Structure 1
Amino acid sequence: MYKVTKPTLLLDKKKAIQNIKRMVEKARDSGVNYRPHFKTHFSKEIGEWYREEGVKSITVSSIDMAVYFAGHGWNDITIAFPVNILQIDVLQHLARQVKLGLVVESSDAMGHINQGISDPVDVYIKIDTGYHRAGIWHENAVEIKELITTIAKHHQFMGLLAHFGHTYQQTEINKILSIYKTEVSALNQLRDQLGTDMMISIGDTPSCSLVESFEDVDEIRPGNLIFYDVMQAEIESCHYGDIAVCLAVPVVAVYPERSEIIVHGGAVHLSKDYLKDDKSQAYFGKVVSLNGKTWSEPLDDFVVVSLSQEHGKITVPKGQIEKIKVGDLFGILPVHSCLTANLMKEYMTLRGERVSTLHQ
């Protein structure tokens, strides 16, 4: 049983492991490599839950994260973020310790890698298939072929890496599946044009959760699915019962006259990510009740209407407000679990055990 006295990120270990197992089995059935993204949990202890399911290779989003997990026994690490050439000396050190994968999108960056990293590294080219955040546009085959030549001078070209981040902006399953099909087709067409033996690595949680088979790719890298969150539930890539983290927050003020409560749980705990309901009202998480052992399904008509630095304002149904008093506890399912986990820096399991992260 857990005991909470301040904003605390509760972690349902059983749900998290079930989420890991589900994707491990799906990847195995499709014959693809599962290289989970650890940017969601960034915890050595949680990393072991993956290892127990047979996972041997991982993805991270920063060099600091790569150093942390290399120090905890992971020796096949891809940093799925364009190389920061200002940290080339750290990358050289990492390349001597582990099988290191790097992501590039320009010959300029690759030139710095060739000059600054003498030990061989695996290099992926970041491809933009429609998200328009980073990467070389998938139709620029000539530019990509030239970059492959630059890579092969000193290092190992591994393949094409993409992230279909625009799936997070969808609200219909068929649109998510359509994006996946279109983008994977674009990557395969590019591979055919290049005429080089290479892998295709993709990794967004919505499509990886909803697609049944990954026969047209070689590797998947989803990360958020270990915890899921309200955003994932709302786009139907998971159920609310799959969400494995919940921010426990104490009630610090009650205002019956306006049917509102104030909780100690604000933007420094949840971030300011929000969604909109069918009336276009913004909300910053889903409220649940706590009983010391687990949490409930989202409570009807309880709405997290605003967050400031430490404060959270929740509107409460009039028939419920008189039952709430200062010192009570509620839970908030986060809109975006990756940001909440990063802000909270540690977890408490439902058995009251503390789980550390790289921030500690």
Structure 2
Amino acid sequence: MNITKPTLLLDEKKCKDNIKNMISRANRFNCNLRPHFKTHQSIVVGNWFQDLGVSQCAVSSLEMAKYFFNAGWTDITVAFPLNILEHTTANDLARKIKLNLCVESLETVKALNDFLEHPVGIFLKIDAGYHRTGLEAENYAEIEAILEALESNQLITIKGFLQHAGHTYGAHGKKEIDEIHAFTSEKMINLKDHFIKKYPDIIISNGDTPTCSVSENFEHIDEMRPGNFVFFDVMQAEIGSCNYENIAVAMACPVVAKHAGRNEVIIYGGAVHFSKDRIEKDGKTIYGLIAEEKEKGWGNPISGWYVKKLSQEHGTIHIPDEDFDQIKIGDLLYILPIHSCLTANLMSKYYTLEGEEIEMFRYLS
């Protein structure tokens, strides 16, 4: 493959291994696996899940649900608060597939009851500690009022309670991931126990890559809904969700300039390709790590090499003195992204190591 500009590469073997491992974990814990497809956004990658027996998925928008419906997916959860302005799209999808939506207010439920024409499943989106959005897990009175409003509509099946423990992204190692998992799980289990007599079929749906990747106690969790695990990234490796060998995507970027006095190499590859997600490590702000090049693909990060700055199209790489002369203008560097979800979304397509182009939702929409 002739790479001449920033190109997002996908290692198919690593990706499929990540999928197999998560399926194995879900089976071991007797959990339903509903992978979140917002990370890869790809029909081809979705097919790799189907080949291994996965028939349900989660997405982040109704438009993405349409994209995967057109690829044959017929059991989809939109794991994002319902946007009532998209009622036409919601009704159209509900007519064709088993569609689950998320609500977190009486106001949304009242609008839903006004426009709904076809059966849907409804999850209540719960805040179990992340504090991004959702109903407070202990606010039983408000939750009960919403459940009763949903119960009045014969087109609605109450599915249960859905949460995302996004605060695991700030964890430092498995111990902290497990502590967050125990904290959020207790909240969700207590919530389910409170309502289980009246709603005996309700389930708990948990969805974050760190806990689903390394935590062990899922005894009372019904559904796992991770997304990033399909690719992983530097952030997940630093958290402890994976090893660097598990990262299945890398950006190949051309070297366009060198500045020996500053130990800096400039690549064609900036914030419009990577986003500006970053980590802090050893007193440094890092926007990506440079992996060793292998005969096919890439290996582990090279010690001391990192992306120190991003502007729109420029990436600034720090290279130690002893390695600086190894780099030539026109070389390709393989950059492991800090956050693969945003990098994939920005790039809109992948190339496998064999040179096959894989299109995505963003590319086609």
TM-score, length-scaled by structure 2: 0.96
Aligned position for 2:46: 47
Code of the residue aligned with 1:247 in structure 2: it is M
Code of the residue aligned with 1:335 in structure 2: it is I
Aligned position for 1:171: 172
Q: Does 1:66 align with 2:65?
A: yes
Code of the residue aligned with 1:35 in structure 2: it is R
Aligned position for 1:200: 204
> Which of residues 337, 341, 357 in structure 1 aligns to 2:340?
337
Aligned position for 2:296: 293
**Structure 1 spans left out of the alignment, 5+ residues:** none
CA distance in 2, matches of 1:18, 1:42: 18
Q: Does 1:236 align with 2:237?
A: no
Q: Does 1:157 align with 2:161?
A: no
Q: Quick check: 1:347–1:355 contact (8 Å CA) kept in 2?
A: yes
Deviation of residue 212 (structure 1)? 2.5
CA distance in 2, matches of 1:87, 1:253: 47
> The residue matched to 2:304 in structure 1 has which SS?
coil
Q: Relative to total residues, which structure has the larger strand share, 1 or 2? A: 2
Aligned length: 358
CA distance in 2, matches of 1:303, 1:176: 26
Aligned position for 2:7: 8
> The residue matched to 2:53 in structure 1 has which SS?
coil
CA distance in 1, matches of 2:221, 2:323: 51
Deviation of residue 213 (structure 1)? 4.3
Q: Structure 1 segments of 4 or more deviating over 3 A?
A: none
**Structure 2 spans left out of the alignment, 5+ residues:** none
> Which of residues 315, 320, 324 in structure 1 aligns to 2:323?
320
Code of the residue aligned with 1:306 in structure 2: it is K
Deviation of residue 48 (structure 1)? 0.1
Aligned position for 2:310: 307
> 1:1-360 to 2 correspondence within 5 Å?
2-154=1-153, 155-194=156-195, 195=197, 196-197=199-200, 198-279=202-283, 281-291=284-294, 293-358=296-361, 359-360=363-364
What CA RMSD, in Å, does the superposition of the two structures yield over aligned residues? 1.0
Deviation of residue 291 (structure 1)? 4.3
Deviation of residue 82 (structure 1)? 0.2
> The residue matched to 2:317 in structure 1 has which SS?
strand
Offset from partner CA, 1:177-229 (integer Å, 9 cap, x none): 01111111111111122233210000100000011242211001000000000
Deviation of residue 323 (structure 1)? 2.2
CA distance in 1, matches of 2:34, 2:10: 22
Identity %: 46
CA distance in 1, matches of 2:177, 2:136: 20
CA distance in 2, matches of 1:29, 1:21: 12
Deviation of residue 63 (structure 1)? 1.1
> The residue matched to 1:302 in structure 2 has which SS?
strand
Deviation of residue 292 (structure 1)? 5.4
Q: Quick check: 2:177–2:215 contact (8 Å CA) kept in 1?
A: no
Which of 125-134 and 320-329 deviates more? 320-329
Q: Quick check: 2:231–2:247 contact (8 Å CA) kept in 1?
A: yes
Offset from partner CA, 1:22-72 (integer Å, 9 cap, x none): 111111122111000000000001100000110010000011101100111
Offset from partner CA, 1:9-32 (integer Å, 9 cap, x none): 010000000000011111112211
> The residue matched to 1:301 in structure 2 has which SS?
strand
TM-score, length-scaled by structure 1: 0.98
Deviation of residue 257 (structure 1)? 2.4
